[in-house]
Amino acid sequence: MTELCAIALGSNLSSEIGDSEKIVRSAIVQLSSLSEIEIIRVSRWYRTKAITLPNSAPQPDYINGCAILKTSFQPLQLLQALFYTEQMFGRERRERWGARTLDLDLLLYSDRQIDSPELVIPHPRMSDRAFVLLPLAEIAPDWIHPKAGVAIGKLAKNPLDLDLSHPIAI
């Protein structure tokens, strides 16, 4: 059985693969190479100001986007595939909200709600993030957020951090 899922992609560090935009595009290609994943739609890419913790060093802007996939992976299996893909692109988890070559977040898995130590779906902060909601609304405006009970397109009308992150489609 396959399920529709939504993921967010982000990068603000270059690697031997290239710049952030090339990294997120390459990550889509990598994920689509897995037999358990079919990429259905990909949003435009957005340049987004990095939001950092207080007293943190400034970071380069992010390239962010979202994708809808169809997968036969169970939620934790998909999460592991996302983590593995991040590692392939040089992701190192050093600090919360730190700069990264690739960040892949599992936002939605069908209409499921999961709250476990390993995984929370829907993603707990997706409704507050313009850099997630704007690209997701492009490709899934009618998807109902399982907890909020509201369509993604409606949530994207006035995201809380819009004035902080200033996502701009590129």
Per-residue confidence (pLDDT) for residue 54, from 0 to 100: 79
Per-residue confidence (pLDDT) for residue 133, from 0 to 100: 97
Domain boundaries, the chain: 3-124
Candidates 47, 91, 129, 161; catalytic one: 91
Candidates 41, 44, 96, 100; catalytic one: 100
Per-residue confidence (pLDDT) for residue 96, from 0 to 100: 62
Class of domain 3-124: alpha beta
91 assigned to active site: yes
111 assigned to active site: no
115 assigned to active site: no
Candidates 44, 47, 61, 105; catalytic one: 105
Tokens representing 5 are: 């899922």
- The pLDDT profile of the chain, 170 residues, written as one tens digit per residue, is 899 999 999 999 888 778 999 999 999 999 999 999 999 999 999 999 987 777 888 889 999 999 999 999 999 999 999 999 999 988 776 666 667 889 999 999 999 999 999 999 999 999 999 999 999 999 999 999 999 999 999 999 988 888 888 888 88
User: Cβ(93)–Cβ(65) under 8 Å?
Assistant: no
129 assigned to active site: no
